[in-house]
Amino acid sequence: MTDPVQTLLPVPGVRLGVAEAGIRKANRKDLVVLALDAGSHVAGVFTQNRFAAAPIQVCRTHLAATTAIRALVINTGNANAGTGASGLAHAQRMCTALAPLLGVAAGAVLPFSTGVIMEPLPIDRVEAGLPAAVADLAPGHWLRAAEGIMTTDTRPKAASRQVVIGGVPVTVTGIAKGAGMIRPNMATMLGFIATDAVVAPELLHPLLRDVADETFNRITVDGDTSTNDALILVATGQAAHPPITALDSMGALQLRAAVQAVAQELAFAIVRDGEGASKFITVRVEGGASDAECRAVGYAIAHSPLVKTAFFASDPNLGRILAAVGYAGIADLDVARVDLYLDDVHVVQGGGRHPAYQEADGQRVMQQADITIRVQLNRGEAVGSIWTCDLSLDYVRINADYRS
């Protein structure tokens, strides 16, 4: 259905260009343009942080007026957040400067920024770099673009899927960045996914929101929700299949599965590349009374510095997980019904250490690079997963040094 593909497939109707604009550091790809053919439609979900960055505010305004977006422009090195009225003017200038180079309206451009917060965006350098980015535009530049949006990321993040809809192959390709300040809330750091599927514009946003809720909204590195989170879905409409006009149609379900597969791969890549991360941890909570309480327990575990440092040390100090379950906010939790598994190892039964549990078994699992913590609350039918990483010495080093 949605086979992973090893190479990044171009999406008909999308061209990408990258430049070195010297925004924060010299000799570094830091400016990316995505040019979308006429006929494209775009949906976005954005950070719920009240200190939403200036470009996020411009995105919201432009998308409220039209989904017929023609270009995306992204700078790294500076988040243009906490920058007040001048920041807003700078975000608008990113659009007005790019528009004539592509022959589109400024209102059809969406701007994105990521980097340090509360410093003025060097807008002159952004503007000066745009012609080079436009000159670089090509359908095959997805990996270059993934590199161009990196900040503290150590690896570019990109994924492709192909799905056959109505007998016609349809492509979904996406890129993302993010390694710290990661607890997306309705969106991720920056993620851009494009498809050539033909979709009624009004379906794009609900489809994207559903996908975000199952993928980017379930990962966390450090619990810090960024000011600049944005996840964008582009549909260029250039594939030859019959148009998708209802969310419950077979075509919509096929497309959604492909978009979700790309989004999940990108979201997992963000966790695996979490600042200083050495382990990928799935926290699966079962038997909850509601999805919300499964999430609350999952996040309590995933955010606990004590749990995260124990995983960094490969130390099965698993009582720390119980402590996090206990303070996750379920007022009527009966701890005598709680079970805990580390992968296949049954650690806690009925709220206490399982009689057969041997520390050597916990130790064995803790050595792995991929670990699943499974909590069984035994109070309902709800299930939910959160994905996170450990807290390492390198996380502190990276964030103590970020600006230097």
Q: Is 404 in the site for a copy of itself (CB under 8 A)?
A: yes
Q: Are 16 and 32 in contact (CB under 8 A)?
A: yes
Q: What share of the chain is helix, strand, coil (3-state, %, to 5)?
A: 35, 25, 40
Report the residue from 55, 111, 180, 237 that binds a copy of itself according to the rule CB under 8 A.
180
Q: Would strands 280-288 and 370-376 be described as parallel, antiparallel, or unpaired?
A: parallel
230-235/41-46 β-pairing? antiparallel
Between CA 197 and CA 203, with CA 199 as vertex, the angle to 5 degrees is 135
Question: Nearer Cβ to a copy of itself, position 114 or 173?
Answer: 114
Helical spans, DSSP H, in 122-246? 123-135, 142-148, 201-214
For the segment 293-312, give every residue that binds a copy of itself (CB under 8 A).
303-306, 309-310, 312
- Binder of a copy of itself out of 127, 210, 214, 224 (CB under 8 A): 224
Binds a copy of itself (CB under 8 A): choice among 204, 320, 373, 375: 320
CB–CB of 84/53 below 8 Å?
A: no
Q: Is 8 in the site for a copy of itself (CB under 8 A)?
A: no
Q: Look at the block and give the residue holding tokens 């379950």.
A: 325
The nearest distance, CB 20 to a copy of itself, in angstroms, is 24
- Closest contact distance (angstroms) between CB of 372 and a copy of itself is 19
Residue 339 to residue 319: CA distance in whole angstroms:
12
Site for a copy of itself in 181-200 (CB under 8 A): 181, 183, 185
Give the span between the Cα atoms of 394 and 396, in whole angstroms: 5
For a copy of itself, which stretch binds (CB under 8 A), given 13-21, 76-84, 133-141, 188-196? Answer: 76-84
- The answer to whether residue 132 forms part of the interface with a copy of itself (CB under 8 A) is no
260-to-20, 23, 233 alpha-carbon distances in Å: 32, 33, 11
Please tell me whether residue 318 binds a copy of itself under the rule CB under 8 A: yes
Do 233 and 42 contact (CB within 8 A), yes or no? yes
CA distance 208 to 248: 14
Among the listed residues 326, 372, 379, 383, the single contact to a copy of itself using CB under 8 A? 326
* Total residues at interface with a copy of itself (CB under 8 A): 69
Catalytic residue among 188, 195, 227, 388: 188
Per-position x/- string for 87-116, each x denoting binding to a copy of itself as judged by CB under 8 A, each - no binding? x----------------------------x
* φ, ψ dihedrals at 282, nearest 5°: -95, 125
Stretch that binds a copy of itself, among 147-155, 253-261, 281-289, 389-397 (CB under 8 A): 389-397
Q: Contacting a copy of itself (CB under 8 A), which of 38, 240, 250, 393?
A: 393
Q: For residues 158 and 125, what is the distance between their CA atoms, to the nearest angstrom?
A: 27
- For tokens 């969406």, name the residue: 110
Q: How far apart are CA 305 and CA 165, in angstroms?
A: 45
Q: Which is nearer to a copy of itself, 111 or 237 (CB)?
A: 111
Site string for a copy of itself, 239-268 (x = CB under 8 A): ------------------------------
Q: Is residue 188 annotated as a catalytic residue, yes or no?
A: yes
C-alpha span between 377 and 362 (Å, rounded): 20
Q: Is 346 in the site for a copy of itself (CB under 8 A)?
A: no
Nearer to a copy of itself, 196 or 339 (CB): 339
Binding of residue 327 to a copy of itself (CB under 8 A): yes
Which element (helix H / strand E) includes 302? helix 291-303
Q: Which residues bind a copy of itself (CB under 8 A)?
A: 48-52, 79, 81-87, 116-120, 180-181, 183, 185, 222-227, 303-306, 309-310, 312-313, 315, 317-320, 322-327, 330-331, 333, 335-336, 348, 350-353, 391-393, 395-397, 399-404
